[in-house]
Structure 1
Amino acid sequence: MFQNPETAPPMMNIAHLLTQKQDLLSRLDESPGPNEREEIERLLGKIDAELNAMDRPDRL
């Protein structure tokens, strides 16, 4: 239905980001190697930054 996440409704974006975050946290529980752990943590930081940006009142 929505191909481009930037044109999807905000709740769809939030749900997508939260799903990605949950998947990454599950991968961390699997004891990844140091390189994979670093990449997962980088992606988690990016997701958290996007979620925080959506939470800013000036975006409403």
Structure 2
Amino acid sequence: MTTAAKLLAQKQQLLERLQEDPGPNERAEIERLLQQIDTALNLLDAGGAGGSGEEPD
């Protein structure tokens, strides 16, 4: 699984947790993690890594 795919999977899990109506502290933590994932995805995209983010063999 590529780095981008892993990040997208984590993002999906966090979005699902948000739909479960978490408490304010958990909501803040989830939103913080979502921001980190979005930043990482943007960096991967800007770096032209082709979405893999993995070293070739």
User: TM-score, normalised to structure 2's length?
Assistant: 0.80
Amino acid at match of 2:26: E
Aligned to 2:34: 44
* Structure with more helix by fraction: 1
Name segments (4+ residues, structure 1) moved above 6 Å: none
In the alignment, structure 2 segments of 5+ residues that lack a partner are: 49-57
Report the RMSD for the aligned CA atoms in angstroms: 1.1
Choose which of 12, 18, 23 in structure 2 pairs with 1:28: 18
In the alignment, structure 1 segments of 5+ residues that lack a partner are: 1-10
Percent identical pairs in the alignment equals 60
Count of aligned pairs between the two proteins: 48
User: TM-score, normalised to structure 1's length?
Assistant: 0.76
Kindly state the Cα deviation for residue 52 of structure 1 after the two structures are TM-superposed: 0.3
